Amino acid sequence: MFGAIEAGGTKFRCMVGDGPTAIADEVRITTTAPQETLAEVIRFFTAQAIKHPIDAIGIGAFGPIDLDRNSATYGHITTTPKTGWQHQDLVGLVGDALKVPIGFDTDVAAAALGEYTWGAGQGIDNLVYLTVGTGIGGAALSAGRSLRGLVHAEMGHMLIPRVAGDSFAGSCPFHGDCFEGMASGPAIRKRWGQDPETLTTDHPAWQLQASYLALGLANIILMLSPHRIVLGGGVMRAELFTALRCRLLDLLAGYVNSPEITDSLEDYVVPPSLGNQAGVLGALVLARRAYEQESQP
């Protein structure tokens, strides 16, 4: 049995189980002050551990986070704008309290791992998972391992051209009109003065949204050449996929000459299949891996 934490800016989702068909229990905890939220998280797992021993816990966390195992602040949230959570140690706190190995990655990498293990990216060697919601986050998996470097990817903040004639300043506090600044939920809200959920299907917002999503996806393909892209998040809707696939083909202009893209884009850019469970299920995978790593001689 493993524990999973999807540490989000509005809620912490905690689960005990071993996969989508083996969930022992789960709970959602509102994200308030770190001491309060984390105490409740630890209470949940402590109570669970009496019923079924927990071998490891995986955490998929909002960020930026420190993933460098050689760093003094490994396992911490770093410079988040989320009040009170700056420099919060997650791995140390949870690990010390529950005395189990802790797996750790970004929330998006955890969701990518969930879709890779049980969802729309199952068995896909090089997978990109992109989520478009209050922000735009992305993670790339290579053979089921998330790509990391100096820090984790921040592909939501890539700099993209504007759609011709668009003069919207963008909503990103760091970069203005980066990908996230033009195509996240808050960007749509700022641009149209309406919540994305209230915009009708025929609203021009969606055509523009498809164009910006296509720009972001084109750069992901040119940079990483993944075998599939799983595209989800609160702003996505079924109608967007057809339009963005057409625009994507236009943008690539035949340059990436691969049948997966030219002939079967409907199997290449796909919606997630685990819905909002991808992150917490992926955290279970992080837990299993942490356990396996600790168990090695």
187 lies in the site for its own copies, by CB under 8 A: no
105 lies in the site for its own copies, by CB under 8 A: no
Interface stretch with its own copies, choices 54-62, 108-116, 218-226, 285-293 (CB under 8 A)? 218-226
**Ramachandran area for residue 253 (φ above 0: left; ψ -120 to 50: alpha; else beta):** left
Q: Which of residues 40-69 bind its own copies (CB under 8 A)?
A: 64
DSSP 161: P
Interface stretch with its own copies, choices 25-33, 106-114, 216-224, 231-239 (CB under 8 A)? 216-224
215 lies in the site for its own copies, by CB under 8 A: yes
Bond before 64 cis per omega within 30 degrees: yes
Give the nearer residue to its own copies in terms of CB position, either 215 or 283: 215
Return d(Cα 210, Cα 197) in angstroms, integer: 16
Give the nearer residue to its own copies in terms of CB position, either 4 or 141: 141
Least distance from its own copies to the Cβ atom of residue 270, Å: 14
User: What does the angle CA 135 – CA 165 – CA 205 come to, to the nearest 5 degrees?
Assistant: 45
33-38 long-range Cβ contacts below 8 angstroms, 24+ apart: 33/84, 34/84, 34/85, 34/88, 37/12, 38/90, 38/93, 38/94
Return d(Cα 72, Cα 69) in angstroms, integer: 8
Answer for which of 261, 265, 281, 287 binds its own copies (CB under 8 A) is 261
Interface stretch with its own copies, choices 93-101, 108-116, 172-180, 201-209 (CB under 8 A)? 172-180
The answer to whether the beta carbons of residues 132 and 235 sit under 8 Å apart is yes
DSSP 77: B
DSSP 75: T
237 lies in the site for its own copies, by CB under 8 A: no
Interface stretch with its own copies, choices 5-13, 192-200, 236-244, 249-257 (CB under 8 A)? 249-257
169 lies in the site for its own copies, by CB under 8 A: no
Name residue, tokens 């602040």.
Answer: 73
Answer for which of 131, 154, 279, 290 binds its own copies (CB under 8 A) is 154
Least distance from its own copies to the Cβ atom of residue 173, Å: 9
For 168-206, the DSSP string reads ---SBTTTBSSHHHHHSHHHHHHHHSS-GGGS-TTSHHH
Answer for which of 23, 42, 151, 205 binds its own copies (CB under 8 A) is 151
Total residues interacting with its own copies, rule: CB under 8 A: 44
**Residues near its own copies, by CB under 8 A:** 64, 78-79, 125-126, 142, 147-155, 157-162, 174-175, 177, 215, 218-227, 251, 253-258, 260-261
